[in-house]
Amino acid sequence: MTMEIRVPQLPESVADATLVAWRKQPGEAVGRDENLADLETDKVVLEVPAPAGGVLKELKVQPGATVKSGDLLAIFEEGAVSAAPAKPAKGGKAAAAKESASAATAAPAAVAAAAPAAAAKLGPAARRLVEENQVDPAAVAGSGRDGRVTKGDVAAHVAQQAAATVAPAAAPVVAAPVPGARAEQRVPMTRLRQRIAERLVQAQHNAALLTTFNEVDLTAVGELRARHKDRFEKEHGVKLGFMSFFVKASIEALRKFPVMNAAVDGTDVIYHEYYDIGVAVSTDRGLVVPVLRNAETMGFAQIERQINDYGARARAGGLALEELQGGTFTITNGGVFGSMLSTPILNAPQSAILGMHKIQDRPVAVNGQVVIRPMMYLAVTYDHRIIDGREAVQFLVAIKDALEDPGRMLIGI
């Protein structure tokens, strides 16, 4: 039975999408729920699953095209099978020639059969690089989680292939460089990068941004982690990191200063009585901010587990759109990349964002003595239209106090 493959219903906030790539080609057998194509929106990459087992007959849209909900993508034949090579007759040169031709077509068929399993371990960025360089994904060793092939793995494989195929020449000819020549490339922004740029500029134009700083001594948090990390991981199956402490400390500070958890809507201020904390995650495609819903109800293990899951799926392009929407307050950690200090930009329409930075041993004065402590600079950028400097500074001090004496978060002081 012939079926039409159409663009699935896009979320209400998404007007259209870009067809990034076809994962199956005409004449290729497809299993039920196998991915046929990737659609990139301004937030996530969506997959178009096969409705049943069969064969992809005809493509109606080429990669790079912009499509909307319901647009026709391809024609699909349910229950059909891909054409198999004819069985050669026995005897004679003609049979030998047919057997040779059959063997030649069997090799690509075997590669094609192995391709879905290998492609399943590719993230969107790695897939794109595989297609651009016509690389067999099964030949690339994955270094990511669960054997996932990363963009770096594909790039390294391409480089190795290029080095191996360069034949040594008796008298190599080196092209003379053109004096004053300077190379450049023009690459279009991805939809996600366009959306990031749009939102950041919007935040700077629509809000009165101001940043205040402080520093926190993480000795107590470090000692607490060292004391309990092994048992924590054994009981909960996840490592006890720093992020859960910062999420908990932020919620305690937000309770004391609710305006930091608010948003501006025209001439009104919306005070959120729940805490949906966005945690910025860096991916090959750009920065995304999945949200911990009702984070005030989550324990340390739940927070760590959810953040780890978001990070893995974000880098693999597997986050759902609803996981990126909303949020009342955001935390971003530039310290993982070595940042010492920064002024983060609001994640509109939120009114505040906390910036974490690198933990570095520094000399500080404690009780009149100079000691070495693990210190981190904190930054909070806020919308000065509704948040005064006094509230922002006290909010940051509340986070500092909670982290320097984690017991405060247990007894609510």
pLDDT at 257 over 80: yes
**Mean per-residue pLDDT of the chain:** 82
* CATH number, position 96: 2.40.50.100
Are 112 and 236 members of one domain? no
287 touches 281 (CB < 8 A):
yes
What confidence score (pLDDT) does residue 310 get? 93
Are 70 and 214 members of one domain? no
pLDDT tens profile 33-53: 888 888 887 767 788 888 888
Are 250 and 365 members of one domain? yes
Domain limit, last residue, from 104, 119, 134:
119
Domain limit, last residue, from 119, 153, 180:
119
Q: Determine, yes or no, domain membership for 23.
A: yes
Q: Determine, yes or no, domain membership for 15.
A: yes
Are 348 and 218 members of one domain? yes
Domain hosting residue 106, numbered range: 2-119
pLDDT tens profile 84-130: 444 444 444 454 445 544 544 444 444 444 455 555 566 666 676 67
Are 227 and 95 members of one domain? no
Give the catalytic positions in this structure: 384, 388
Are 111 and 216 members of one domain? no
Distance between CA 303 and CA 246 in Å, rounded? 10
Scan for tokens 């023009």, then name that residue: 186
What confidence score (pLDDT) does residue 104 get? 45
Residue 227, φ and ψ in degrees, nearest 5: -75, -35
Could you report how far apart the first and last alpha carbons of the chain are, in Å?
A: 67
Are 245 and 391 members of one domain? yes
Q: Domain total for the chain?
A: 2
Q: Determine, yes or no, domain membership for 374.
A: yes
Band of the pLDDT at 318, cuts 50, 70, 90? Answer: confident
Are 93 and 215 members of one domain? no
Q: Determine, yes or no, domain membership for 35.
A: yes
pLDDT at 154 over 80: no
What confidence score (pLDDT) does residue 125 get? 60
Output the pTM of the full model. 0.65
- Percent over 70 (pLDDT), the chain: 77
Spatial CB neighbours of 323, under 8 Å, sequence gap ≥ 6: 290, 291, 310
Range scoring the smallest mean pLDDT among 2-16, 219-233, 326-340: 2-16
Helix (H, G, I), strand (E, B) or coil at 268: strand
Domain limit, last residue, from 72, 101, 119:
119
pLDDT tens profile 265-298: 999 999 999 999 999 998 887 888 999 999 999 9
Are 267 and 391 members of one domain? yes
Are 372 and 223 members of one domain? yes
Q: How many alpha carbons fall within 13 Å on the CB side of residue 288?
A: 29
Is there a cis peptide before residue 349, judged by omega within 30 degrees of 0?
yes
Q: Determine, yes or no, domain membership for 269.
A: yes
The larger pLDDT score, comparing residue 137 to residue 59, is at 59
* CATH number, position 277: 3.30.559.10
Q: Determine, yes or no, domain membership for 129.
A: no
